[in-house]
Amino acid sequence: MKLYEVLDILAARILVGDDQLEKDIVGGGSADLMQDVLAAAARDAVLLTGVIDEQVIRTAKIAGVAAVVIVRGKTPPQQVIDLARDNDMPLLVTRKSLFTASGRLYMNGLRGLDGSW
């Protein structure tokens, strides 16, 4: 799946990474505990989360996540947006809940990589 498809499926808006919409997304996961993200094989996946602090970007970068989607319409602070830009990490926001966003991606063919998050 391409990042632009994630954007469309989730009716999201892109805060960072509009130049990366052709990026391949190979799987997905949902977590609010960043230690769960680090414990899972998440390379090139999309991370759906309600976390809006800098730790989500730092964790996503370390884990090799392809993009971060903030759920429930939360708007991250400017320093988080700037950190995503500095780390070349696509950052999207959707009004959908974590459950609904995960389900919509799953129903459109995106699967978890190992089922651990």
Overall pTM > 0.75: yes
Query: 38 near 59, Cβ under 8 Å?
Result: yes
The CA–CA distances, whole Å, from 59 to 4, 44, 107, 111 equal: 23, 13, 26, 21
SS3 70: strand
Q: What is the pLDDT along the chain (117 residues), one digit of tens a residue?
A: 999 999 999 999 999 999 999 999 999 998 888 877 777 657 899 999 999 999 999 999 999 999 999 999 999 999 999 999 999 999 999 999 999 999 999 999 998 866 544
CA nearest neighbour of 29 among 56, 85, 2, 68? 68
Structure tokens at 103: 């389900």
